[in-house]
Amino acid sequence: EEAPSAVLTDELRDEMGRTAIKVAKSCRYVGAGTVEFLYDQGDFYFLEMNTRLQVEHPVTEWITGIDLVEQQIKIAQGEALDFKQEDLAIHGHAIELRVYAEDSFDNFMPSVGTLERYRPPSGENIRVDDGFREGMQVPIHYDPMLSKLITWGKTRNEAIQRMLTAIEAYEVVGVSTTLPF
């Protein structure tokens, strides 16, 4: 996942945004949600509306400076948002990938075991959302996602380079991961 889209013009992005607002208003939707579109050679088509935050919400948070989880909680408590759509602007570029306990060299088969070493990368403009710690078991009974790795840069190329550096710094021993992929 990355934001903003590298293939959309500002005009098309604005049109998609206005269309997403119309979709939400048409069903009197209140809350955090996502309207998804398919893009094909200059045209876009409604795909679905998710009435929840997406797994990829950190890329939006990073380029807008808005904590979407905090806003979702405020809405659930009956509070009004303290910003309007026209207040939002895009700053920089963010990329997110999912780190799975899967063996990318063996048809992405699940990899279970003990995280003998688990050291996610850290640093400026690197974010890791995870729920695992060193010494924990990675079981076969659940989704094998270990974490989400998100990077931000002033430009897309800077975000990509930061992501490559973060991937290289990620240390996982005890299970195979999708990091080499």
Q: Is 127 annotated as catalytic?
A: no
CA angle 173, 153, 38 (to 5 degrees): 90
Query: Residue 112 CA to chain centroid, in angstroms?
Result: 24
Q: What is the DSSP string of 101-149?
A: SEETTTTTEE--EE-SEEE---STTEEEEE---TT-EE-SSS--EEEEE
Contact present, 129 and 69 (Cβ < 8 Å): no
SS3 label, residue 14: helix
Query: Residue 21 CA to chain centroid, in angstroms?
Result: 21
Contact present, 55 and 98 (Cβ < 8 Å): yes
DSSP assignment, residue 87?
G
How far apart (Å, rounded) are the C-alpha atoms in residues 54 and 65?
17
- Residue of 13, 18, 28, 52 marked catalytic: 52
- CB-based contacts of 29: which residues, under 8 Å, 6+ apart? 23, 49, 51
Report the catalytic residues. 52
